[in-house]
Amino acid sequence: MGKEYSMIHIPVFSFYSKRLYRDVSVNWKGTGFLYLFLILAVCLIPITINMQSGINKYIEEEAPKIVNQIPKMTFSKGILSVDEPQPYTITDPGTGVPLIIIDTTGKTKNLDNTKALGLFMKDRGLFKENSLETKMYVYSEIKKDFVLTRNKIDKWMIFVQKKLMWILGPIMLISLFVFKIIQLLIYAGLGMIFVNTLDKKLTYMTVLRLSTVAITPFIILGMFFDLASFAIPFRGLIFLVGTLYYLYFGINACQDSEETTVKNLM
């Protein structure tokens, strides 16, 4: 007997259909990773578009207020020079809080007692990683001399507006795909415990395939939560428990043998 359901049915029927899970266990072949890749790609499209929209809005409305404060900065042979009175401070246009301090005179030596996130000194820069850690970067590590100007920054922002989605999207997709595969391999291992508990005769490959179906509701829910910027406490744990529940649900719906034909279930 051929497949009763195709990949396009999974995003809907994975939420409730025992018949789908049984069909996947009996009539489908392989790991289900192709389906996983496709569902991730589809769900990442609106997320990436939403991210690009937010970045574009920031570049158009907020970034110029900061960029217009940046002086011409020349990095030559590991030394920074700036043609402005110093210390020179770039501030948050909304709050007036310091963001970056530029001081090649040596008067400002660290970021202590300031809310600024970065300090450009004559031969090095300091940048806060977090409230406890500050990293130092030495300009001599820069291989080529260059001049940072507002015009160059404007060109970079135009590039980000036009190209970021096409660069960031595939990187996110590949990274998430690899991460989900690792998750599914673990879920399938746990699923074999369910197989033994329920006294089913299913192989690891079948349980792995069922895991790709079981994780689908939470890939879709995650997409909607991200688009709505809706934060859930312990989201990862909730999605983990939910996926295992659906995997148990799917395994319990299966026949005792993979060779058994799909028959009346719902």
> Residue 257: its pLDDT value, please?
43
Q: How far is CA 186 from CA 66, 195, 238, 245, in A?
A: 46, 14, 16, 14
Contacts of 221 (CB under 8 A, 6+ apart): 239
> Residue 3: its pLDDT value, please?
82
Contacts of 56 (CB under 8 A, 6+ apart): 161
Q: Identity (one letter) of the amino acid at 59? A: I
Q: How far is CA 262 from CA 134, 161, 192, in A?
A: 61, 51, 21
State the Cα–Cα distance between residues 191 and 204, nearest whole angstrom: 8
10-37: per-residue pLDDT in tens? 999 999 999 999 999 999 999 999 999 9
> Residue 1: its pLDDT value, please?
58
> Residue 263: its pLDDT value, please?
41
Confidence (pTM): 0.76
Which residue ranges of the chain lie beneath pLDDT 50? Answer: 257-266
> Residue 259: its pLDDT value, please?
41
